[in-house]
Structure 1
Amino acid sequence: MPHTISNPPGLYDPVGSGYSHVAETSGDLVFIAGQGANDITGRIASADFAGQVRKSLDNLRIALASVGLGFEHVVQLRTYIVGYDGDKLAVLTEQIRGIWGERPPTQTLTGVAALAPPDMLVEIDAIAVRP
Structure 2
Amino acid sequence: MSPVFHMIAGGPRPVAPFSHAVEADGWVMLTGQMPTDPDAPDAPLPEGIAAQTRRVMENLDIVLRGVGLDLSHVVQCRCYLTDFERDYAAFNDTYQSFFPPARRPARTTIGVTALAVGALVEIDCLARRPEG
Question: What is residue 49 of structure 1 aligned with on the other side?
Answer: 49
Distance (Å, rounded) in 2 between the aligned partners of 1:90 and 1:83: 11
When the two structures are superposed, what TM-score results if normalisation uses the length of structure 2? 0.87
Contact 1:77/1:126 (<8 A) preserved: yes
Query: Superposed, which structure 2 residues align to 1:32-71 within 5 Å?
Result: 32-40=30-38, 41-43=40-42, 44-71=44-71
CA RMSD of aligned residues (A): 1.6
> Gaps spanning 5+ residues in structure 2: where?
none
CA distance in 1 between counterparts of 2:94 and 2:100 reads: 9
Aligned to 1:99: 98
Counterpart of 1:39 in structure 2: which amino acid?
D
Aligned match of 2:89: 90
Cα distance between partner residues in 2 of 1:8 and 1:91: 29
State the TM-score, normalized to the length of structure 1: 0.88
Partner of 2:110: 110
Q: Is the 8 A contact 1:78 1:108 kept in 2?
A: yes
Q: Deviations over 1:16-55 (max 9, x none)?
A: 7211211111x11000000110122533531321110000
SS of equivalent residue, structure 1 residue 51:
helix
Task: Output the amino acid matched with 2:125.
Answer: A
**Count of residues in correspondence between the two structures:** 127
TM-superposition CA deviations, 1:81-123 (whole Å, max 9, x none)? 00111x5222222223212121310001000010122x21100
SS at match of 1:17: coil
Percent of aligned pairs sharing the same letter: 34
What letter matches 2:29 in structure 1?
A: F
Q: What runs of 5+ residues in structure 1 fail to find an aligned partner?
A: none
Does structure 1 residue 125 correspond to structure 2 residue 124?
Answer: yes
